[in-house]
Amino acid sequence: MIPKLIIHGGCGKFEGNHASIDQYDQALRKILKRSYRKLLKKSAREVCVFGMRLLENEPMFNAGYGSKLQSDGTVRMSAAFMDGYKGKFSGVINVEDVQHPVEIARILNNRKHTVIAGRPAVKFARREKIPKFDPVAPHRLEEHESMKEGETGTCGIVALDCNGRICVATSTGGIGYEVPGRVGDTPTVAGTYANKHCGVSCTGIGEHIINLAVASKIASKVEDGMPLSDAVNGVIAQGNLVKSRFGLIALDAMGQIVMGQTRQVTTLAAWHDGVDERTFAD
């Protein structure tokens, strides 16, 4: 099996105007290259966490360091991880004071209780030796002080390794200036899902994604025998009918890579099919 990889850095209208299209493109290319090199030697599980950590480190993306602040001035982040081979979802909701929420989701994937939230999630992180970290980037603080309300913002990665194993991870800082404690699609199976047949990571308006159960619906259709491209196109069409705004990346067990988005949405994505790499700007 030739390893395949696709990542995304969110969607929308480049909210905040703190980075250009070219800067988004170059950041995604750099992360894609590093992650794909690792995928040639390591498992999809390892690469999803590795690649997501890189995305969470880049402050132009709304995840980890660079996460948007909620209306009370606090950064609360959510992340999810799912191993399609194991069929096990794990996630963390509204965690504070960490650099890599995906690490918590990864650890929970090997535990009995797989989803935790809020202050108990912070205490869990400390018990797991995850250090305290201030994720507030200067440009996000400026956005909050100007009371800038957003709509979107997420990072995601889907990997297929040489053993045919699919894994997916998604991480977000929310939408910016939202009601404290608001939860979007990222730490749910609507926004992050994988089985033995495909993996899907979503971005966009979380409530819209949840309403259509986007990721799990696509995965179920593929499991039932529908080609990935048809499953994605069908859900995108449903979204357009109800004027939803979201994008997604997907990858199936045969190595097919698909990116989808509803009208008026630009999904910041990059992918490597084992031969060539491409980004949304190509």
Contact indicator for 237, 252 with CB cutoff of 8 Å: no
- Interatomic CA distance for residues 77 and 130, integer angstroms: 15
Structure tokens at 96: 């504070």
Active site residue 74: no
Give me the amino acid identity at 92: V
Residue ranges of domains in the chain, CATH in brackets: 4-279 (3.60.20.30)
248 HSE (CA, 13 A, CB side) = 41
- Interatomic CA distance for residues 229 and 252, integer angstroms: 10
Specify the pLDDT at position 206: 96
Specify the pLDDT at position 15: 57
Specify the pLDDT at position 215: 98
Query: What pairs with residue 83 in β-bridges?
Result: 88, 167
* 99 Cβ neighbours under 8 A, 6+ residues apart: 56, 57, 64, 65, 131, 133, 135
Looking at 154, 186, 188, 203, which residue is catalytic? 154
Helices (H) and strands (E) in the chain, counts: 8, 12
Sequential pLDDT tens for the chain (282 residues) = 899 999 999 986 555 567 888 999 999 999 999 999 999 999 999 999 999 999 999 999 999 999 999 999 999 999 999 999 999 999 999 999 999 999 999 999 999 999 999 999 999 999 999 999 999 999 999 999 988 877 778 999 999 999 999 999 999 999 999 999 999 999 999 999 999 999 999 999 999 999 999 999 999 999 999 999 999 999 999 999 999 999 999 999 999 999 999 998 999 999 999 999 999 988
Burial (CB count within 10 angstroms: exposed 0-12, middle 13-18, buried 19+), residue 86: middle
Q: Answer whether 0.75 is exceeded by the pTM.
A: yes
- Interatomic CA distance for residues 266 and 20, integer angstroms: 13
Specify the pLDDT at position 71: 95
Contact indicator for 31, 51 with CB cutoff of 8 Å: yes
Specify the pLDDT at position 282: 82
Specify the pLDDT at position 150: 77
